[in-house]
Structure 1
Amino acid sequence: MNYAQLLFPDFSLIACGWLLCRYTALDRRVWDQVESLVYYFLFPVLLFHSIVRSPIDFSAASQLLVGGVGVCLAGVALAYALPYLPGLRGHIDRRDHAASAQVAFRFNSFICLAMAERLAGTQGLLLIAVLIGVGVPLMNIGAVWPMARHAQSGFVRQLLRNPLIIATATGLVVNLLGLRVPEWATPTLSRIGAASLALGLLAAGAGMQFATLARGKVLAVSVLTIRHLLLPIIGWLLARALHLETSQALVLLAFSAVPTASSAYVLAARMGYNGPYVAGLVTLSTLLGMLSLPLALSLPR
């Protein structure tokens, strides 16, 4: 399968978002509102619907969950260790590291969902929704913790207000209770989900920034190496060790190789850190994802 060709429609939407933001009247002010719409409404609805539409067989997905949690925890551990590694500790600013560590392990949920649907259809959406349901709380804790002492509010409050955590937790509860969405509401929810994927990818492109990467090059290379080289390798090793079937292996590999979360720079800026620098890292991660995703998905299974 030609994964580069498979992924082209999604990355072309990212490119369209960048071009629209830079060269038309649809500037950053417009895309800030689009990103808020996707993050606070469209995307939570998609997550909720993806989780509740089919019964979750946790026994069948248990190995995938182990792999997903393994990728998440490995990313957090590697990112936290950077300032203590020989050869790096003297070249990494601790404050910049606190804001940028999240780039190494957070994942772009918009791209995750788009990739999973292309790779495995409805089953892929359900699998990635389960991974996101587990990964979002873990990754938000990992992202907020290093910055928490400088925040105006505690990290627990930040987590409880996260719309993705609320949507996934609610969806899991509804699914476990055996409740289902009424048939008459399904078309509306499906259209909201489709809109969230397209607008989320366009917003990811609109958020790309290149002008802030001159500083902290060692830190930038380190966190992006974890995100786009080490985590895909770890995901591949876990998929083989856990003997995941093809669709689960593909979803785990995509999960481990996608770009970092586009909201990383928003979190850093909101908590008083260097948001533009983190935005530059998000931009590079989005571009590197165009290489790491096809390479990861092409690894032998």
Structure 2
Amino acid sequence: MLPPVNFLQLLLPDFALILLGYLVCRYTALNRTVWEQVESLVYFFLFPVLLFQSIVRSPLDLGATSSLIGAGLLLGLSGIGLSYLLPHLPGLGRHIDRREHAGAAQVAFRFNSYIALALSERVAGTQGLLLIAVLIGVCVPLFNVGAVWPMARHSDTGFLRALVRNPLIIATALGLAANFAGFRVPVWLEPTVSRVGGASIPLGLMAAGAGMRLAHLAQQKALTTGVLAIRHLLLPLVAAGLAWAFSLDAAQATVLLAFSALPTASSCYVLASRMGYNGAYVAGLVTLSTLLGLASLPFALGFLRGLVVSA
């Protein structure tokens, strides 16, 4: 039986850190000059360490979780495809600025890894942690490529050049290679690596708050509605269909549904900002996505899970 989860308690720390970053940047001497350096630290060092450690932490049993992997990859491709499609939709597309879309498209399919790990353990125990580790390992490379491609393409910097120089993709590739090679972070080094990677979450969220300009959301209503509807409504529905189609067991279906309804990644802001896009707008989307998780997670893990598991 699914244990009760207080979603407000789970998401409140992330929202509070975003708000704290906003207030500190606006009303103290720690202004944008300081936070630009924080963004660089998170983007080039702290978050890559977190990604690497998350992927190498548990062995990837591709055989035992092949159905979940297939469903997760199809879910990811659905999110990427839907987000890329937004500017081409009749009626909606003409209201979407193509450059703003290039920076914001990632919000529709990327996810908050920290909340993913915490939530999976709450709803499915140690098995949930293993299952979400598998999804992180196979989906993060896809999602990072999907996030970088429209920005590199729109800015004419060259997709392959942007890809091989992106620290998040480098960390993901190294993590997968290390996992398949059987490498694990030595026990004596693990506390230090955990603290370095863990620092990326609060600093990344505070940097998103420091860069936030909520007025930008009102200027891009169609794009805002589109990416957040994909992230918090359409992807949970797709996940429910995939869980049924792949005949996932209760634990795998639960983890996939939780995965589909998560708030977007806090690093969306840092990636957009560092690649020369409208980071303030993406920071606003990260904030709204964190709030919308209070609705999408109960929807996915309550109503949709009930339909899938009883089917």
TM-score by length of 1: 0.83
Comparing 192-201 and 79-88, the one that deviates more: 192-201
- CA–CA distance in structure 2, aligned partners of residues 116 and 207 of structure 1: 30
Contact 1:152 1:271 in 2 (8 A): no
Segments of 5+ residues of structure 1 without an aligned counterpart are none
Q: CA deviation at 1:69?
A: 0.9
Segments of 5+ residues of structure 2 without an aligned counterpart are none
- CA–CA distance in structure 2, aligned partners of residues 142 and 13 of structure 1: 24
TM-score by length of 2: 0.81
What residue is the counterpart of 1:141 in the other structure?
145
Paired letter, 1:221: T
- CA–CA distance in structure 1, aligned partners of residues 65 and 167 of structure 2: 24
Q: CA deviation at 1:8?
A: 1.1
| SS of residue paired to 2:161 | helix
Contact 1:14 1:202 in 2 (8 A): no
| SS of residue paired to 1:56 | coil
What residue is the counterpart of 1:106 in the other structure?
110
Q: CA deviation at 1:295?
A: 1.9
CA RMSD of aligned residues (A): 3.0
- CA–CA distance in structure 2, aligned partners of residues 239 and 267 of structure 1: 31
Tell me the number of residue pairs that the alignment of Structure 1 and Structure 2 aligns. Answer: 300
Contact 1:160 1:166 in 2 (8 A): yes
Q: 2:45 aligns with which of 38, 41, 46?
A: 41
Contact 2:204 2:266 in 1 (8 A): no
Contact 2:243 2:256 in 1 (8 A): yes
1:95 and 2:95 matched: no
- CA–CA distance in structure 2, aligned partners of residues 89 and 13 of structure 1: 32
CA spacing shift, 1:36–1:150, aligned 2, 3 Å: same
- CA–CA distance in structure 2, aligned partners of residues 194 and 157 of structure 1: 29
| SS of residue paired to 1:18 | helix
What residue is the counterpart of 2:84 in the other structure?
80
CA spacing shift, 1:119–1:112, aligned 2, 3 Å: same
Q: CA deviation at 1:20?
A: 5.2
CA spacing shift, 1:53–1:93, aligned 2, 3 Å: closer
Paired letter, 1:173: A
- CA–CA distance in structure 1, aligned partners of residues 232 and 94 of structure 2: 24
CA spacing shift, 1:129–1:282, aligned 2, 3 Å: same
| SS of residue paired to 1:214 | helix
Paired letter, 1:284: L
Q: CA deviation at 1:197?
A: 4.8
What residue is the counterpart of 1:57 in the other structure?
61
Paired letter, 1:2: P
- CA–CA distance in structure 2, aligned partners of residues 62 and 30 of structure 1: 45
CA spacing shift, 1:98–1:37, aligned 2, 3 Å: closer
Q: 1:129 aligns with which of 102, 116, 133?
A: 133
Paired letter, 1:230: L
Contact 1:103 1:223 in 2 (8 A): yes
Deviations 1:35-89 (A, max 9, x none): 5444443443333333334332111121121111111111122122223323323
Comparing 252-261 and 20-29, the one that deviates more: 20-29
Q: CA deviation at 1:16?
A: 4.0
What residue is the counterpart of 1:18 in the other structure?
19
- CA–CA distance in structure 2, aligned partners of residues 92 and 68 of structure 1: 28
CA spacing shift, 1:231–1:57, aligned 2, 3 Å: same
- CA–CA distance in structure 1, aligned partners of residues 144 and 183 of structure 2: 28
Instruction: Among all aligned residue pairs of Structure 1 and Structure 2, give the percentage whose two residues are the same amino acid.
Output: 63
CA spacing shift, 1:252–1:161, aligned 2, 3 Å: farther
CA spacing shift, 1:18–1:270, aligned 2, 3 Å: same
- CA–CA distance in structure 2, aligned partners of residues 124 and 201 of structure 1: 25
What residue is the counterpart of 2:283 in the other structure?
279
Deviations 1:68-113 (A, max 9, x none): 1111111122122223323323333333333332222222333333
What residue is the counterpart of 2:245 in the other structure?
241
- CA–CA distance in structure 2, aligned partners of residues 189 and 81 of structure 1: 39
Once the two structures are superposed, the pairs formed by residues 67-216 of structure 1 within 5 Å of their partners are 67-151=71-155, 153-197=157-201, 199=203, 208-216=212-220
Deviations 1:237-296 (A, max 9, x none): 212222223332232222211222333344444444433333322322222122212221
